[in-house]
Structure 1
Amino acid sequence: MERFYRRRNFSRPLQTTPLLISNTVYRRCAVLAGGHFYFDFQKPITFWRWGGQDIRIFGSGVMNGNGQRWYNEFAGFIDTDKFQDSNNKYYRPILFVTDNATRLSVEGIAQLNSPCWTNFFVRTKDVLFDNVYIKCLLDQRICKWDSLSGASQVLPPFNQALPKNTDGFDSLNVDGLSVTNARVDIGDGSFSPKPNTTNNFVQKLWCNNTHGVSMGSIGQDRGVLDMIEYAYIENVILLSGEYYFKIDAAGCASFSSKFNVTNINFENISGTSSGKQGKVVADLTCSPNAVCLDVHLKNINLSSPAGDLPVIICDGIQGDIGVECQYSSTSSTTKRTTGLASG
């Protein structure tokens, strides 16, 4: 698989900065002005960030983001174009962030209820998450922050909103990202590297209630070159998800994307879709102005509760994809056939 991924050996030197977490670390219900770190890309903020070299965070404790207040306040807004607009005035609180970190590992920790993305790695090299559990769920309590007294108060539950935009693993300008033996139960992408992330390795990832593995979002900013390359992903289990895998590039009806997709292999994938797309179990669609080349499917065994033979859609893919597929505009099939749908 070296054509697609070059994995480094992750070893710790004798001098390592350790942090043992055996209890619960809470993010307070609000972050005071000046008490956070801000990043330009999609406007995330965090109350702590990790940088430096040779850092090990381990234990059996919990990082709790107290995200229910955010879910409630922004219910309905996160799903709109206004939230995605870079000019909106709201920031995205992130539970755990690395910035300019090299050789950082997190092992055995649980991460609960991040307000937005759970992990965000920026300008980082060789990061490893192993045996980590990430979950965002309805919290039966709600926090209220008193800016005068500096105290937080727990209030009774009221029409709690579901978590949204709570990705498990996001990255920007990262070389070497490994996730192994992880469980993710959230309301968005389980593993979703973003622009300029290379050498991705995922092994034994369990996903529930997620958008699946998503390469993106990429190609959003005009004149900016984005890329994700060298990714090896195996043994992923997806339950109640939107997609098993997708390449998430910005779309526009007026201006076709020129984002290129090359050297993609899907092998040994089996399962059942929800049937929401009828007999369609996979949709591989390339923009007219883009290049989608060397996309191959092998040993794909997907079915739909809609019955009959499952259908794979292929539009704009160059060359033989290895299985029979169908153009979205016709009922004819061809043996040429970029997401595998579970929803």
Structure 2
Amino acid sequence: MTPRFIFLLCFFAAGALSQRLIVSVTDYGAVADGRTDNQRAFLSAWRDACNSGGGGMVHVPRGGNYYVSQAVFEGPCRGEMSFRHEGYIIASSEYSGGDSWISFRLVNRLSISGSGTFDGNGASTWNRCRSSGCNFPPSSLKLDHVKDVSVKKIISVNSKAFHINIDKSRNVFIDGLTVIAPGDSPNTDGVHIGKSSYITVTNSRISTGDDCVSVGDGNSHVNISSIHCGPGHGISIGSLGRYGYEKDVHDISVSNCDLVETTNGLRIKTWAPSAVATTVSNVTFSDIRVKRVRNPVLIDQHYCPSDSCSHGDESMVQIRDVKFVGVRGSSADRVGVTIECSKDRPCQGIEFVGLHLTMEQGQSTMAYCSNANGQFVGRDQIPARCLRAMEKAVRKVGSLKSGTFWVSKKAKEEMSNISQDLTTLSNTVEEKAKWIFNKLKGKPAKSLSDLLLDHNLPPGLFPRNATSYDLDEARNKLVVYLPSPCEVCFSDSSSSVVRYSNRVKLTLGRGSLSDIQGMKTKVLAVWVTVTSIHVEGTKSSDKVWFAAAGAAVKKARPRDAFEIPRDGLRVDKF
């Protein structure tokens, strides 16, 4: 055998070994009938392609629904990998554990593409979590410890929790993503990024029930651009500071995005008190268009979604060098900018350039800054400066009543009475402003008791000393304000006790209160969090059912015990 022949033999053998392997999941027995669990077929196809010397491609063809209970596509692989998804993959309506449904782990040089759909089948999970609480459900697609990954033109619908979760990864490029979930679906962030670097999310349309894009702790060099967001909670950094293991966040860019009718716009949120001292720095929001957005610009360093925080200490997260450039459009609220920073670590280097935020009818919005020196650079900005808390409240009332005499007279009558009560409220700036606002303008047109009766609910479900309420009629979201946390003992056979936070949030329905935050009751002498209340019928002999997170059964109580509002007994904390 000649040396030349040996060389050619080795050359062609090497070429054969390095040839890319392309496999279809149907070659491994996958059936697109929506019932057969294709977990084994998908994993077998991945295993063979991953172990191919030249890398490989796994193809999910069009036609039918491929049910997959759960799948972890794991590396490292011997070459570059592709997951070409052109079909429809659907999850179970239930989940048995784990933090993800479909995950790619320890894979480098991966492409996920093909305009296929991942259906998380999350509706039953959302309902269960609303009514009785649950552990955090799985994300639909998780990129876990991956590097050099592109995700292009895929569709994610109805995820049980995060649609895409990027964790401890580097060099990930997401382009042309479509996310669809109802506006009230809980924890369904479009893309969540955690402890990763050099991440790009661009040219995507996200409609969901939580943040369109959320940037958690430990991230750097994140570029978010050309996102259409709505419905949803906007684009957020945070929440941060809740856990002791968290790391700094820096070099984040959000640009050329459209936010439409979202509950927040551009937001940084940190817990108070916080478990760790970290830093958020070098953040730029630029060329952002908002339309009927509540809280278009928000830094909230007293974040606490469940109203269970003591607020005894300030946030330890330092926020600095944050720029808002060219944020323009319409705000759903008179306050377009809220910068509420930590007293212990005031925000540094907050800068506004080219700001133009008005109400839908063209009225100017206001900016409120606390523990921050917001710099408005350039002329003709709306708003053009920061207001103090009292100034903001009076200006807000003045926008509703014509004539300065009424505002001045009411302010003089009430300001001396509200200072003491104000100190009992949470540190949340929006809560303080709303409380002052409601106090100055008087009671709502309809009493809270009448509002409850209109929805077939007994009027005594809340204490008599509730100061005011705020109802978003479009979304049936109700917030009830009390001067302090309190308890009410009801006169039923078991002497039921209900404890209320100074702010109770919920969704108001016909004969029901759901998504409750800020209410507890005792079950077998143990305090449990109330998540929903359901009323049977309209007779006084009918039952009121309290569903409590973590409780084995729902608690039924007679309706007539709640027919009369009772005074709340003040307690030190919720």
TM range (shorter): 0.7 to 0.9
Q: In 2, are the aligned partners of 1:259 and 1:291 still within 8 Å (CA)?
A: no
Find the aligned partners of 2:362 and 2:116 in 1 and give their Cα distance.
Answer: 46
Q: Which of 248, 255, 258 pairs up with 2:269? A: 248
Match of 1:17 in 2: 81
Q: Which of 301, 326, 331 pairs up with 1:268? A: 326
Find the aligned partners of 2:387 and 2:190 in 1 and give their Cα distance.
Answer: 33
What is the CA-CA distance between 1:137 and the residue it aligns to? 3.1
Match of 1:111 in 2: 156
- What secondary structure does 1:111 align onto? strand
- What secondary structure does 1:69 align onto? helix
Match of 1:63 in 2: 118
Report the RMSD for the aligned CA atoms in angstroms: 2.4
Amino acid of the structure 2 residue aligned with 1:129: I
Amino acid of the structure 2 residue aligned with 1:273: S
Q: In 2, are the aligned partners of 1:194 and 1:215 still within 8 Å (CA)?
A: yes
Match of 2:104 in 1: 50
Is 1:234 paired with 2:292?
A: no
Is 1:325 paired with 2:408?
A: no
Q: Which of 237, 240, 245 pairs up with 1:215? A: 237
CA deviations over 1:70-114 (Å, ceiling 9, x no partner): 11212255xxxxx6xxxxx62322101111100111101100000
Find the aligned partners of 1:291 and 1:92 in 2 and give their Cα distance.
Answer: 35
Find the aligned partners of 1:310 and 1:119 in 2 and give their Cα distance.
Answer: 35
Match of 1:312 in 2: 367
Match of 2:282 in 1: none
Give 1:185-200 correspondences, 5 Å limit.
185-200=207-222
Q: Cα 1:211–1:327, aligned 2, differ >3 Å: closer, same or farther?
A: same
- What secondary structure does 1:318 align onto? coil
Return the TM-score normalized by structure 1. 0.75
Amino acid of the structure 2 residue aligned with 1:227: D
- What secondary structure does 2:168 align onto? strand
Q: In 2, are the aligned partners of 1:280 and 1:304 still within 8 Å (CA)?
A: no
What is the CA-CA distance between 1:255 and the residue it aligns to? 0.9
Match of 2:335 in 1: 280
CA deviations over 1:239-293 (Å, ceiling 9, x no partner): 1101110101113421111211111111111111113xxx211101111011311
Aligned residue pair count? 276
Find the aligned partners of 1:186 and 1:123 in 2 and give their Cα distance.
Answer: 24
Find the aligned partners of 1:110 and 1:48 in 2 and give their Cα distance.
Answer: 14
CA deviations over 1:300-342 (Å, ceiling 9, x no partner): 1100247643211111113634341112233599xxxxx9xxx
Amino acid of the structure 1 residue aligned with 2:145: N
Is 1:259 paired with 2:317?
A: yes
Find the aligned partners of 1:123 and 1:245 in 2 and give their Cα distance.
Answer: 24
CA deviations over 1:195-242 (Å, ceiling 9, x no partner): 101111011000011110100111002x43432210111111011101
Amino acid of the structure 2 residue aligned with 1:199: H
Find the aligned partners of 1:76 and 1:310 in 2 and give their Cα distance.
Answer: 37
Q: Cα 1:76–1:294, aligned 2, differ >3 Å: closer, same or farther?
A: farther
Is 1:126 paired with 2:187?
A: no
Q: Which of 226, 229, 239 pairs up with 1:204? A: 226
Q: Cα 1:319–1:237, aligned 2, differ >3 Å: closer, same or farther?
A: closer
Q: Cα 1:319–1:166, aligned 2, differ >3 Å: closer, same or farther?
A: closer
What is the CA-CA distance between 1:16 and the residue it aligns to? 2.4
Q: In 2, are the aligned partners of 1:294 and 1:321 still within 8 Å (CA)?
A: no
What is the CA-CA distance between 1:59 and the residue it aligns to? 0.5
Q: In 2, are the aligned partners of 1:258 and 1:291 still within 8 Å (CA)?
A: no
Find the aligned partners of 2:100 and 2:336 in 1 and give their Cα distance.
Answer: 38
Amino acid of the structure 1 residue aligned with 2:242: Q
Find the aligned partners of 1:226 and 1:19 in 2 and give their Cα distance.
Answer: 32
Amino acid of the structure 2 residue aligned with 1:133: T
Find the aligned partners of 2:352 and 2:131 in 1 and give their Cα distance.
Answer: 37
Match of 1:28 in 2: 92
> Higher helix fraction: Structure 1 or Structure 2?
2
Find the aligned partners of 1:91 and 1:192 in 2 and give their Cα distance.
Answer: 16
Match of 1:74 in 2: 129
What is the CA-CA distance between 1:26 and the residue it aligns to? 1.0
* Higher gyration radius (CA): 2
Q: Cα 1:76–1:327, aligned 2, differ >3 Å: closer, same or farther?
A: farther
Q: In 2, are the aligned partners of 1:64 and 1:111 still within 8 Å (CA)?
A: yes
Find the aligned partners of 2:371 and 2:239 in 1 and give their Cα distance.
Answer: 20
Find the aligned partners of 1:180 and 1:307 in 2 and give their Cα distance.
Answer: 31
Unaligned runs of at least 5 residues, structure 1: 1-12, 38-44, 78-82, 84-88, 139-161, 334-338
Q: In 1, are the aligned partners of 2:93 and 2:123 still within 8 Å (CA)?
A: no
Give 1:116-155 correspondences, 5 Å limit.
116-137=161-182
Q: In 1, are the aligned partners of 2:331 and 2:365 still within 8 Å (CA)?
A: no
Q: Cα 1:285–1:167, aligned 2, differ >3 Å: closer, same or farther?
A: same
Amino acid of the structure 1 residue aligned with 2:137: R
> Higher strand fraction: Structure 1 or Structure 2?
1
Find the aligned partners of 2:165 and 2:144 in 1 and give their Cα distance.
Answer: 9
- What secondary structure does 1:200 align onto? strand
What is the CA-CA distance between 1:131 and the residue it aligns to? 0.4
- What secondary structure does 1:226 align onto? coil
Find the aligned partners of 1:69 and 1:225 in 2 and give their Cα distance.
Answer: 32
What is the CA-CA distance between 1:29 and the residue it aligns to? 2.0
Unaligned runs of at least 5 residues, structure 2: 1-54, 57-78, 274-310, 378-383, 396-428, 430-471, 473-574
What is the CA-CA distance between 1:20 and the residue it aligns to? 0.7
